[in-house]
Chains A and B, each alone.
Chain A
Protein backbone atom coordinates (compact mmCIF):
# COMPACT_ATOMS: atom_id res chain seq x y z
CA UNK A 1 0.00 0.00 0.00
CA UNK A 2 1.32 3.46 -0.89
CA UNK A 3 1.40 6.00 1.92
CA UNK A 4 0.68 9.63 1.14
CA UNK A 5 3.41 12.13 2.08
CA UNK A 6 0.75 13.69 4.35
CA UNK A 7 0.28 10.58 6.51
CA UNK A 8 1.59 12.31 9.65
CA UNK A 9 -0.76 15.24 9.08
CA UNK A 10 -3.75 12.87 8.82
CA UNK A 11 -2.75 11.00 11.96
CA UNK A 12 -2.40 14.27 13.86
CA UNK A 13 -6.02 15.07 12.95
CA UNK A 14 -7.29 11.60 13.89
CA UNK A 15 -8.08 10.36 10.38
CA UNK A 16 -9.68 7.02 9.66
CA UNK A 17 -8.00 5.45 6.64
CA UNK A 18 -9.25 3.33 3.76
CA UNK A 19 -7.45 1.69 0.89
CA UNK A 20 -8.19 3.40 -2.39
CA UNK A 21 -6.51 2.37 -5.67
CA UNK A 22 -3.55 0.95 -3.75
CA UNK A 23 -3.19 4.03 -1.52
CA UNK A 24 -3.90 4.42 2.15
CA UNK A 25 -6.09 7.54 2.21
CA UNK A 26 -8.15 9.34 4.89
CA UNK A 27 -11.88 8.64 4.46
CA UNK A 28 -12.82 11.06 7.23
CA UNK A 29 -11.55 12.74 10.40
CA UNK A 30 -14.75 13.54 12.30
CA UNK A 31 -17.78 12.58 10.21
CA UNK A 32 -18.38 12.56 6.46
CA UNK A 33 -21.43 14.82 6.75
CA UNK A 34 -19.68 17.27 9.08
CA UNK A 35 -16.77 17.58 6.67
CA UNK A 36 -19.18 17.92 3.75
CA UNK A 37 -21.02 20.78 5.48
CA UNK A 38 -17.73 22.41 6.46
CA UNK A 39 -16.71 22.56 2.77
CA UNK A 40 -20.11 23.92 1.65
CA UNK A 41 -20.24 26.54 4.40
CA UNK A 42 -16.60 27.63 4.71
CA UNK A 43 -13.66 25.50 3.63
CA UNK A 44 -11.97 22.12 3.72
CA UNK A 45 -8.54 20.78 2.85
CA UNK A 46 -8.27 17.40 1.09
CA UNK A 47 -5.23 15.28 0.45
CA UNK A 48 -5.48 14.20 -3.19
CA UNK A 49 -1.90 13.00 -3.52
CA UNK A 50 -3.17 9.68 -4.87
CA UNK A 51 -4.22 11.42 -8.12
CA UNK A 52 -1.66 10.63 -10.83
CA UNK A 53 0.58 13.43 -12.10
CA UNK A 54 2.14 12.67 -15.46
CA UNK A 55 4.58 15.05 -17.09
CA UNK A 56 4.58 15.11 -20.92
CA UNK A 57 7.33 17.18 -22.41
CA UNK A 58 9.19 17.65 -25.68
CA UNK A 59 8.89 18.73 -29.30
CA UNK A 60 5.95 16.41 -30.00
CA UNK A 61 4.21 16.70 -26.63
CA UNK A 62 1.33 18.71 -28.14
CA UNK A 63 0.89 16.34 -31.05
CA UNK A 64 0.87 13.36 -28.69
CA UNK A 65 -1.69 14.94 -26.39
CA UNK A 66 -3.89 16.03 -29.30
CA UNK A 67 -4.10 12.38 -30.29
CA UNK A 68 -4.88 11.29 -26.71
CA UNK A 69 -7.30 14.00 -25.57
CA UNK A 70 -10.91 14.61 -26.63
CA UNK A 71 -10.41 18.41 -26.60
CA UNK A 72 -7.96 20.67 -28.36
CA UNK A 73 -4.66 21.10 -26.59
CA UNK A 74 -2.66 23.31 -28.99
CA UNK A 75 -4.81 26.39 -28.39
CA UNK A 76 -4.31 26.24 -24.61
CA UNK A 77 -2.41 29.14 -23.11
CA UNK A 78 0.47 28.68 -20.71
CA UNK A 79 -0.99 28.67 -17.23
CA UNK A 80 -4.26 27.17 -18.41
CA UNK A 81 -5.93 23.94 -17.23
CA UNK A 82 -8.35 21.98 -19.38
CA UNK A 83 -10.68 19.14 -18.41
CA UNK A 84 -10.68 16.45 -21.10
CA UNK A 85 -11.40 12.78 -21.65
CA UNK A 86 -9.01 10.07 -22.79
CA UNK A 87 -11.09 7.71 -24.93
CA UNK A 88 -10.52 4.24 -26.32
CA UNK A 89 -10.95 3.43 -30.02
CA UNK A 90 -14.59 2.43 -29.44
CA UNK A 91 -15.42 5.81 -27.89
CA UNK A 92 -15.48 4.50 -24.33
CA UNK A 93 -13.75 6.47 -21.58
CA UNK A 94 -10.29 5.42 -20.39
CA UNK A 95 -10.10 8.33 -17.96
CA UNK A 96 -11.06 11.94 -17.35
CA UNK A 97 -8.07 14.18 -16.75
CA UNK A 98 -6.94 17.75 -16.33
CA UNK A 99 -4.19 18.92 -18.69
CA UNK A 100 -2.10 21.85 -17.46
CA UNK A 101 0.09 23.72 -19.93
CA UNK A 102 3.29 24.57 -18.09
CA UNK A 103 5.22 25.83 -21.10
CA UNK A 104 5.01 25.70 -24.90
CA UNK A 105 6.05 22.02 -25.01
CA UNK A 106 5.58 21.06 -21.40
CA UNK A 107 2.35 19.66 -19.94
CA UNK A 108 1.24 18.13 -16.67
CA UNK A 109 -1.66 15.69 -16.87
CA UNK A 110 -3.59 14.92 -13.66
CA UNK A 111 -5.24 11.50 -13.91
CA UNK A 112 -7.34 9.31 -11.59
CA UNK A 113 -5.43 7.19 -9.08
CA UNK A 114 -7.12 4.00 -10.25
CA UNK A 115 -6.07 4.68 -13.86
CA UNK A 116 -2.52 5.94 -13.40
CA UNK A 117 -0.71 2.82 -14.57
CA UNK A 118 -3.15 2.16 -17.42
CA UNK A 119 -2.86 5.73 -18.69
CA UNK A 120 0.94 5.75 -18.42
CA UNK A 121 1.05 2.57 -20.49
CA UNK A 122 -1.42 4.02 -23.01
CA UNK A 123 0.59 7.26 -23.36
CA UNK A 124 3.80 5.27 -23.89
CA UNK A 125 2.16 2.96 -26.45
CA UNK A 126 0.76 5.82 -28.52
CA UNK A 127 4.03 7.71 -28.30
CA UNK A 128 5.98 4.66 -29.51
CA UNK A 129 3.50 3.96 -32.34
CA UNK A 130 3.94 7.46 -33.71
CA UNK A 131 7.58 7.83 -32.74
CA UNK A 132 6.75 11.11 -31.06
CA UNK A 133 9.69 12.96 -29.57
CA UNK A 134 8.29 13.41 -26.09
CA UNK A 135 9.22 12.22 -22.63
CA UNK A 136 6.52 10.84 -20.38
CA UNK A 137 7.37 10.93 -16.71
CA UNK A 138 5.25 9.82 -13.78
CA UNK A 139 5.77 12.43 -11.06
CA UNK A 140 3.08 11.14 -8.74
CA UNK A 141 5.34 9.85 -5.98
CA UNK A 142 7.69 12.84 -6.12
CA UNK A 143 4.88 15.27 -5.37
CA UNK A 144 1.93 15.71 -3.04
CA UNK A 145 -1.37 17.34 -3.99
CA UNK A 146 -3.96 19.02 -1.80
CA UNK A 147 -7.32 20.56 -2.69
CA UNK A 148 -8.56 23.50 -0.61
CA UNK A 149 -12.24 24.07 -1.35
CA UNK A 150 -15.10 26.17 -0.04
CA UNK A 151 -16.74 29.61 -0.25
CA UNK A 152 -14.28 31.21 2.19
CA UNK A 153 -11.11 29.68 0.76
CA UNK A 154 -10.19 32.41 -1.73
CA UNK A 155 -10.68 35.13 0.91
CA UNK A 156 -8.44 33.21 3.29
CA UNK A 157 -5.78 32.77 0.61
CA UNK A 158 -5.94 36.50 -0.10
CA UNK A 159 -4.33 36.99 3.30
CA UNK A 160 -1.18 35.18 2.16
CA UNK A 161 -1.15 35.92 -1.58
CA UNK A 162 -2.51 38.79 -3.63
CA UNK A 163 -1.98 36.97 -6.91
CA UNK A 164 -3.85 33.70 -6.34
CA UNK A 165 -7.30 35.30 -5.82
CA UNK A 166 -6.92 36.99 -9.23
CA UNK A 167 -6.53 33.62 -10.98
CA UNK A 168 -9.51 32.77 -13.16
CA UNK A 169 -11.20 29.37 -12.99
CA UNK A 170 -9.05 26.72 -14.68
CA UNK A 171 -5.89 28.84 -14.54
CA UNK A 172 -2.81 28.07 -12.51
CA UNK A 173 0.33 29.79 -11.35
CA UNK A 174 3.70 28.58 -10.14
CA UNK A 175 4.82 30.16 -6.89
CA UNK A 176 8.18 30.02 -5.26
CA UNK A 177 7.31 29.82 -1.59
CA UNK A 178 10.62 30.08 0.28
CA UNK A 179 12.62 27.38 -1.51
CA UNK A 180 9.53 25.46 -2.65
CA UNK A 181 8.15 25.33 -6.14
CA UNK A 182 4.41 25.11 -5.73
CA UNK A 183 1.79 24.81 -8.50
CA UNK A 184 -1.53 26.40 -7.55
CA UNK A 185 -4.56 25.86 -9.80
CA UNK A 186 -8.06 27.32 -9.48
CA UNK A 187 -9.68 23.93 -9.95
CA UNK A 188 -11.58 21.43 -7.81
CA UNK A 189 -14.01 18.57 -7.55
CA UNK A 190 -16.56 19.75 -4.99
CA UNK A 191 -18.76 22.32 -6.74
CA UNK A 192 -17.15 25.06 -4.63
CA UNK A 193 -14.54 27.66 -5.48
CA UNK A 194 -11.02 26.86 -4.37
CA UNK A 195 -7.58 25.72 -5.41
CA UNK A 196 -5.59 22.57 -5.92
CA UNK A 197 -1.92 22.69 -4.98
CA UNK A 198 0.99 20.49 -6.07
CA UNK A 199 4.05 20.45 -3.82
CA UNK A 200 7.28 18.37 -3.82
CA UNK A 201 6.75 15.37 -1.49
CA UNK A 202 9.74 16.01 0.72
CA UNK A 203 8.61 19.58 1.38
CA UNK A 204 4.96 18.94 2.04
CA UNK A 205 5.01 19.11 5.84
CA UNK A 206 6.73 22.46 5.72
CA UNK A 207 4.42 23.68 2.97
CA UNK A 208 1.34 22.68 4.95
CA UNK A 209 2.62 24.62 7.95
CA UNK A 210 3.20 27.65 5.75
CA UNK A 211 -0.18 27.31 4.05
CA UNK A 212 -2.09 26.83 7.28
CA UNK A 213 -0.02 28.95 9.65
CA UNK A 214 -2.60 31.73 9.80
CA UNK A 215 -5.55 29.37 10.26
CA UNK A 216 -6.15 27.46 13.46
CA UNK A 217 -7.49 24.32 11.78
CA UNK A 218 -8.08 22.65 15.14
CA UNK A 219 -10.42 25.25 16.58
CA UNK A 220 -14.12 24.25 16.31
CA UNK A 221 -15.00 27.28 14.16
CA UNK A 222 -11.89 27.13 11.98
CA UNK A 223 -12.59 28.45 8.47
CA UNK A 224 -10.65 25.56 6.91
CA UNK A 225 -10.57 22.01 8.31
CA UNK A 226 -9.29 18.69 6.99
CA UNK A 227 -11.83 16.73 4.93
CA UNK A 228 -11.56 13.15 3.70
CA UNK A 229 -12.42 11.16 0.60
CA UNK A 230 -15.87 10.31 2.01
CA UNK A 231 -17.05 13.91 1.78
CA UNK A 232 -15.18 14.44 -1.49
CA UNK A 233 -17.49 11.81 -2.97
CA UNK A 234 -20.76 13.26 -1.61
CA UNK A 235 -19.64 16.78 -2.64
CA UNK A 236 -18.83 15.79 -6.23
CA UNK A 237 -22.08 13.85 -6.48
CA UNK A 238 -24.17 16.88 -5.43
CA UNK A 239 -22.22 18.91 -7.99
CA UNK A 240 -23.12 16.33 -10.67
CA UNK A 241 -19.48 15.57 -11.42
CA UNK A 242 -18.73 12.12 -12.85
CA UNK A 243 -16.36 9.67 -11.19
CA UNK A 244 -14.39 7.03 -13.05
CA UNK A 245 -15.70 3.56 -12.21
CA UNK A 246 -19.16 5.01 -11.69
CA UNK A 247 -20.19 7.43 -14.46
CA UNK A 248 -17.14 6.86 -16.64
CA UNK A 249 -15.64 3.62 -17.90
CA UNK A 250 -14.17 1.76 -20.86
CA UNK A 251 -17.62 0.39 -21.76
CA UNK A 252 -19.49 3.67 -21.27
CA UNK A 253 -19.90 5.80 -24.41
CA UNK A 254 -18.25 9.20 -23.88
CA UNK A 255 -21.28 10.91 -25.42
CA UNK A 256 -23.65 9.48 -22.81
CA UNK A 257 -22.03 11.15 -19.75
CA UNK A 258 -23.27 14.72 -20.15
CA UNK A 259 -19.73 15.84 -21.00
CA UNK A 260 -20.26 17.02 -24.57
CA UNK A 261 -18.41 20.24 -23.71
CA UNK A 262 -15.30 18.09 -23.28
CA UNK A 263 -15.61 16.24 -26.59
CA UNK A 264 -14.58 18.10 -29.75
CA UNK A 265 -15.75 15.93 -32.62
CA UNK A 266 -14.41 18.30 -35.30
CA UNK A 267 -10.98 18.48 -33.73
CA UNK A 268 -9.23 17.39 -36.92
CA UNK A 269 -10.91 19.96 -39.14
CA UNK A 270 -8.79 23.03 -38.47
CA UNK A 271 -5.27 23.66 -39.71
CA UNK A 272 -2.88 21.00 -38.41
CA UNK A 273 -5.85 19.43 -36.64
CA UNK A 274 -5.33 15.93 -35.30
CA UNK A 275 -8.15 13.44 -34.63
CA UNK A 276 -8.23 11.92 -31.16
CA UNK A 277 -8.44 8.22 -30.44
CA UNK A 278 -12.12 7.30 -30.32
CA UNK A 279 -13.25 10.29 -32.39
CA UNK A 280 -14.30 8.31 -35.46
CA UNK A 281 -16.34 5.91 -33.34
CA UNK A 282 -18.02 8.80 -31.50
CA UNK A 283 -18.78 10.65 -34.75
CA UNK A 284 -20.52 7.55 -36.02
CA UNK A 285 -22.56 7.21 -32.80
CA UNK A 286 -23.55 10.89 -33.01
CA UNK A 287 -24.51 10.54 -36.69
CA UNK A 288 -26.59 7.44 -35.92
CA UNK A 289 -28.79 9.32 -33.47
CA UNK A 290 -26.60 9.52 -30.37
CA UNK A 291 -25.78 7.11 -27.57
CA UNK A 292 -28.32 4.50 -26.46
CA UNK A 293 -28.22 5.68 -22.85
CA UNK A 294 -27.93 9.00 -21.05
CA UNK A 295 -26.61 10.00 -17.66
CA UNK A 296 -29.42 11.44 -15.54
CA UNK A 297 -29.90 12.95 -12.10
CA UNK A 298 -32.30 11.17 -9.76
CA UNK A 299 -34.14 12.56 -6.75
CA UNK A 300 -35.50 9.91 -4.40
CA UNK A 301 -38.50 10.08 -2.08
CA UNK A 302 -37.97 9.24 1.58
CA UNK A 303 -34.59 8.86 3.25
CA UNK A 304 -33.25 5.61 1.87
CA UNK A 305 -30.13 5.58 -0.27
CA UNK A 306 -29.86 3.73 -3.58
CA UNK A 307 -26.55 2.00 -4.43
CA UNK A 308 -24.40 1.64 -7.50
CA UNK A 309 -25.74 -1.24 -9.61
CA UNK A 310 -29.39 -0.92 -8.54
CA UNK A 311 -31.83 -1.34 -11.44
CA UNK A 312 -33.95 1.64 -12.54
CA UNK A 313 -37.50 0.68 -13.51
CA UNK A 314 -40.18 2.59 -15.41
CA UNK A 315 -43.53 0.97 -14.56
CA UNK A 316 -41.86 -2.41 -13.87
CA UNK A 317 -39.71 -2.30 -17.03
CA UNK A 318 -35.95 -1.93 -16.50
CA UNK A 319 -34.64 1.19 -18.25
CA UNK A 320 -31.27 1.68 -16.60
CA UNK A 321 -28.87 1.35 -13.72
CA UNK A 322 -27.68 3.53 -10.81
CA UNK A 323 -24.02 4.62 -11.03
CA UNK A 324 -23.64 6.64 -7.78
CA UNK A 325 -25.91 7.56 -4.89
CA UNK A 326 -25.93 9.20 -1.47
CA UNK A 327 -28.12 11.01 1.00
CA UNK A 328 -27.37 14.61 0.02
CA UNK A 329 -26.14 16.38 3.16
CA UNK A 330 -26.81 19.83 1.65
CA UNK A 331 -30.27 19.12 0.23
CA UNK A 332 -31.46 16.66 2.88
CA UNK A 333 -32.89 14.08 0.46
CA UNK A 334 -31.30 11.10 -1.30
CA UNK A 335 -29.82 11.69 -4.75
CA UNK A 336 -28.32 9.45 -7.39
CA UNK A 337 -26.89 9.44 -10.87
CA UNK A 338 -27.48 6.68 -13.35
CA UNK A 339 -27.76 5.72 -16.98
CA UNK A 340 -31.19 5.24 -18.55
CA UNK A 341 -32.34 4.49 -22.10
CA UNK A 342 -32.14 7.74 -24.07
CA UNK A 343 -35.87 7.80 -24.88
CA UNK A 344 -36.72 7.79 -21.16
CA UNK A 345 -34.12 10.32 -19.99
CA UNK A 346 -36.44 13.31 -19.74
CA UNK A 347 -36.49 15.22 -16.45
CA UNK A 348 -39.72 14.74 -14.52
CA UNK A 349 -40.05 11.05 -15.44
CA UNK A 350 -41.27 9.07 -12.42
CA UNK A 351 -39.18 5.93 -11.87
CA UNK A 352 -38.61 3.24 -9.26
CA UNK A 353 -35.25 1.97 -8.05
CA UNK A 354 -34.95 -1.70 -7.17
CA UNK A 355 -32.49 -1.93 -4.28
CA UNK A 356 -33.10 -5.63 -3.71
CA UNK A 357 -34.95 -4.52 -0.57
CA UNK A 358 -37.92 -2.16 -0.70
CA UNK A 359 -38.38 -0.47 -4.14
CA UNK A 360 -37.76 3.29 -3.93
CA UNK A 361 -39.89 5.91 -5.71
CA UNK A 362 -37.88 8.56 -7.50
CA UNK A 363 -37.92 11.17 -10.24
CA UNK A 364 -35.44 12.12 -12.96
CA UNK A 365 -34.09 15.63 -12.43
CA UNK A 366 -31.53 17.86 -14.21
CA UNK A 367 -27.88 17.82 -13.14
CA UNK A 368 -26.22 19.24 -11.11
CA UNK A 369 -28.19 18.83 -7.88
CA UNK A 370 -26.24 21.65 -6.27
CA UNK A 371 -24.88 24.89 -7.69
CA UNK A 372 -22.87 27.20 -5.51
CA UNK A 373 -24.75 30.42 -4.79
CA UNK A 374 -23.47 33.44 -6.66
CA UNK A 375 -21.45 35.74 -4.43
CA UNK A 376 -23.61 38.72 -3.65
CA UNK A 377 -21.61 41.95 -3.87
CA UNK A 378 -21.71 43.91 -0.64
CA UNK A 379 -24.00 46.88 -1.20
CA UNK A 380 -22.31 50.22 -0.76
CA UNK A 381 -23.86 52.66 1.69
Chain B
Protein backbone atom coordinates (compact mmCIF):
# COMPACT_ATOMS: atom_id res chain seq x y z
CA UNK B 1 0.00 0.00 0.00
CA UNK B 2 1.30 3.44 -0.98
CA UNK B 3 0.36 5.75 1.88
CA UNK B 4 1.28 9.40 1.20
CA UNK B 5 3.52 10.95 3.85
CA UNK B 6 2.29 14.53 3.29
CA UNK B 7 -0.79 14.08 5.50
CA UNK B 8 -2.09 12.56 8.74
CA UNK B 9 -4.43 9.69 9.42
CA UNK B 10 -7.31 8.95 11.81
CA UNK B 11 -8.12 5.55 13.28
CA UNK B 12 -11.43 5.81 11.42
CA UNK B 13 -9.45 5.81 8.10
CA UNK B 14 -9.82 9.43 7.01
CA UNK B 15 -6.74 11.24 5.75
CA UNK B 16 -6.32 14.91 6.79
CA UNK B 17 -4.09 17.18 4.72
CA UNK B 18 -3.56 20.65 6.14
CA UNK B 19 -2.40 23.42 3.83
CA UNK B 20 -2.31 26.78 5.62
CA UNK B 21 -5.77 27.02 7.17
CA UNK B 22 -7.42 24.74 4.61
CA UNK B 23 -7.88 21.08 5.38
CA UNK B 24 -8.57 18.55 2.63
CA UNK B 25 -10.09 15.30 3.82
CA UNK B 26 -10.58 11.91 2.18
CA UNK B 27 -10.63 8.17 2.79
CA UNK B 28 -7.58 5.90 2.67
CA UNK B 29 -6.97 3.11 0.19
CA UNK B 30 -7.41 0.62 3.03
CA UNK B 31 -10.84 2.11 3.80
CA UNK B 32 -12.14 2.08 0.22
CA UNK B 33 -10.82 -1.46 -0.32
CA UNK B 34 -12.75 -2.58 2.74
CA UNK B 35 -15.90 -0.73 1.65
CA UNK B 36 -15.74 -2.24 -1.87
CA UNK B 37 -17.33 -0.31 -4.77
CA UNK B 38 -18.46 3.14 -3.66
CA UNK B 39 -21.94 3.90 -4.99
CA UNK B 40 -22.86 7.25 -3.43
CA UNK B 41 -21.20 10.15 -1.62
CA UNK B 42 -23.06 12.81 0.38
CA UNK B 43 -20.95 15.48 2.09
CA UNK B 44 -22.27 18.29 4.29
CA UNK B 45 -23.18 21.51 2.49
CA UNK B 46 -20.68 24.23 1.68
CA UNK B 47 -20.97 26.91 4.35
CA UNK B 48 -22.01 24.55 7.12
CA UNK B 49 -20.05 24.46 10.37
CA UNK B 50 -17.85 21.48 11.25
CA UNK B 51 -17.35 20.48 14.85
CA UNK B 52 -13.97 18.95 15.76
CA UNK B 53 -14.45 15.16 15.75
CA UNK B 54 -17.85 15.56 14.09
CA UNK B 55 -19.55 13.92 11.14
CA UNK B 56 -18.96 15.62 7.76
CA UNK B 57 -20.86 13.25 5.49
CA UNK B 58 -21.67 9.72 4.40
CA UNK B 59 -20.22 7.28 1.92
CA UNK B 60 -22.24 4.35 0.59
CA UNK B 61 -20.78 1.23 -0.97
CA UNK B 62 -22.05 -2.11 -2.23
CA UNK B 63 -21.32 -3.38 1.27
CA UNK B 64 -22.40 -0.69 3.72
CA UNK B 65 -23.10 2.97 4.53
CA UNK B 66 -20.41 4.74 6.59
CA UNK B 67 -20.14 8.10 8.32
CA UNK B 68 -17.10 10.25 7.59
CA UNK B 69 -15.47 12.11 10.48
CA UNK B 70 -13.12 15.08 10.67
CA UNK B 71 -10.88 15.87 13.65
CA UNK B 72 -10.71 19.63 13.07
CA UNK B 73 -13.37 22.29 13.55
CA UNK B 74 -14.23 24.96 10.97
CA UNK B 75 -16.45 25.57 7.95
CA UNK B 76 -17.02 23.55 4.78
CA UNK B 77 -15.67 25.54 1.81
CA UNK B 78 -15.82 22.94 -0.99
CA UNK B 79 -17.02 19.40 -1.69
CA UNK B 80 -15.75 17.21 -4.51
CA UNK B 81 -18.50 17.53 -7.14
CA UNK B 82 -16.86 14.94 -9.39
CA UNK B 83 -17.97 12.23 -6.98
CA UNK B 84 -21.64 12.91 -7.61
CA UNK B 85 -21.52 11.33 -11.06
CA UNK B 86 -18.37 9.25 -10.58
CA UNK B 87 -18.28 7.84 -7.05
CA UNK B 88 -15.92 5.14 -8.35
CA UNK B 89 -13.16 7.82 -8.38
CA UNK B 90 -13.00 7.21 -4.66
CA UNK B 91 -12.04 3.59 -5.31
CA UNK B 92 -9.55 4.30 -8.07
CA UNK B 93 -7.78 7.36 -6.62
CA UNK B 94 -8.72 7.88 -2.94
CA UNK B 95 -5.66 9.99 -2.06
CA UNK B 96 -5.92 12.50 -4.95
CA UNK B 97 -8.86 12.81 -7.36
CA UNK B 98 -11.16 11.08 -4.87
CA UNK B 99 -10.84 13.68 -2.10
CA UNK B 100 -14.11 14.36 -0.28
CA UNK B 101 -14.29 17.78 1.34
CA UNK B 102 -12.33 21.00 2.12
CA UNK B 103 -12.68 22.80 5.40
CA UNK B 104 -11.47 26.26 6.52
CA UNK B 105 -9.98 25.36 9.89
CA UNK B 106 -10.71 27.32 13.06
CA UNK B 107 -9.74 24.59 15.53
CA UNK B 108 -6.79 22.44 14.47
CA UNK B 109 -6.04 20.89 17.86
CA UNK B 110 -7.35 17.49 16.75
CA UNK B 111 -4.49 17.18 14.21
CA UNK B 112 -2.09 16.43 17.07
CA UNK B 113 -3.82 13.14 17.83
CA UNK B 114 -3.51 11.78 14.27
CA UNK B 115 -1.07 9.15 13.02
CA UNK B 116 1.65 9.60 10.42
CA UNK B 117 1.69 7.32 7.35
CA UNK B 118 3.95 4.73 8.95
CA UNK B 119 1.92 4.45 12.15
CA UNK B 120 -1.28 4.29 10.12
CA UNK B 121 0.00 1.46 7.94
CA UNK B 122 0.98 -0.43 11.06
CA UNK B 123 -2.48 0.08 12.54
CA UNK B 124 -3.96 -1.49 9.38
CA UNK B 125 -1.81 -4.55 9.89
CA UNK B 126 0.76 -3.87 7.17
Chain A positions near chain B (C-beta within 8 angstroms): 16, 27-28, 31-33, 230, 234, 303-305, 307, 326-327, 355, 357
A303: chain B residues within 8 A (beta carbon): 39-40
Task: Please report the C-alpha to C-alpha distance between residue A175 and residue B39 in the assembled complex, in whole angstroms.
Answer: 42
Pairwise interchain contact A31-B40, C-beta atoms closer than 8 A = no
> Which residue among B36, B39, B62, B88 has the maximum number of chain A CB atoms within 10 Å of its CB?
B62
Q: Is the interface of A mostly helix, strand, loop or mixed?
A: mixed
B88: chain A residues within 8 A (beta carbon): 31, 33
Pairwise interchain contact B37-A31, C-beta atoms closer than 8 A = yes
Pairwise interchain contact B58-A32, C-beta atoms closer than 8 A = no
Pairwise interchain contact A327-B65, C-beta atoms closer than 8 A = no
Q: A16-B33, A31-B88, A31-B91 are in contact. Are A304 and B62 (CB under 8 A)?
A: no
Q: A31-B91, A357-B65 are in contact. Are A304 and B40 (CB under 8 A)?
A: yes
Give the residue name and chain of the B residue nearest to A233 (CB). Answer: B62
Task: Please report the C-alpha to C-alpha distance between residue A355 and residue B39 in the assembled complex, in whole angstroms.
Answer: 16
Task: Please report the C-alpha to C-alpha distance between residue A33 and residue B58 in the assembled complex, in whole angstroms.
Answer: 20
Pairwise interchain contact A32-B33, C-beta atoms closer than 8 A = no
B78 interface residue, CB < 8 Å from A? Answer: no
Pairwise interchain contact B36-A27, C-beta atoms closer than 8 A = yes
B121: chain A residues within 8 A (beta carbon): none
Chain A nearest CB from B31 CB (Å) reads 14
B60 interface residue, CB < 8 Å from A? Answer: yes
Chain A nearest CB from B44 CB (Å) reads 13
Q: A305-B60, A357-B58 are in contact. Are A32 and B36 (CB under 8 A)?
A: yes
Give the residue name and chain of the A residue nearest to B40 (CB). Answer: A303
Give the residue name and chain of the B residue nearest to A306 (CB). Answer: B65
Give the residue name and chain of the B residue nearest to A302 (CB). Answer: B40
Contact with A along B8-46 (1 / 0, CB 8 A): 000000000000000000000000010011011010000
Which 6 residue pairs of A and B lie closest in terms of their CB atoms, listed nearest first?
A: A327-B39, A32-B37, A303-B40, A33-B37, A32-B62, A31-B37
Chain A nearest CB from B34 CB (Å) reads 9
Chain A nearest CB from B92 CB (Å) reads 8
Chain B nearest CB from A299 CB (Å) reads 16
Give the residue name and chain of the B residue nearest to A307 (CB). Answer: B65
Chain A nearest CB from B88 CB (Å) reads 7
Give the residue name and chain of the A residue nearest to B58 (CB). Answer: A357
Chain A nearest CB from B26 CB (Å) reads 18
Pairwise interchain contact B65-A234, C-beta atoms closer than 8 A = no
Selected contact of A230 from candidates B40, B60, B62, CB within 8 Å: B62
Give the residue name and chain of the A residue nearest to B67 (CB). Answer: A357
Pairwise interchain contact B40-A327, C-beta atoms closer than 8 A = yes
Chain A nearest CB from B61 CB (Å) reads 8
Pairwise interchain contact B37-A305, C-beta atoms closer than 8 A = no
Chain B nearest CB from A357 CB (Å) reads 7
Task: Please report the C-alpha to C-alpha distance between residue A169 and residue B40 in the assembled complex, in whole angstroms.
Answer: 37
B62: chain A residues within 8 A (beta carbon): 32-33, 230, 234, 305, 326-327
Chain A nearest CB from B78 CB (Å) reads 21
Chain B nearest CB from A354 CB (Å) reads 13
Chain A nearest CB from B2 CB (Å) reads 16
Given A303-B40, A304-B60, 5 more pairs with CB closer than 8 A: A28-B37, A305-B39, A326-B62, A327-B60, A357-B65
Contact with A along B56-79 (1 / 0, CB 8 A): 001010111100000000000000
Task: Please report the C-alpha to C-alpha distance between residue A305 and residue B58 in the assembled complex, in whole angstroms.
Answer: 12
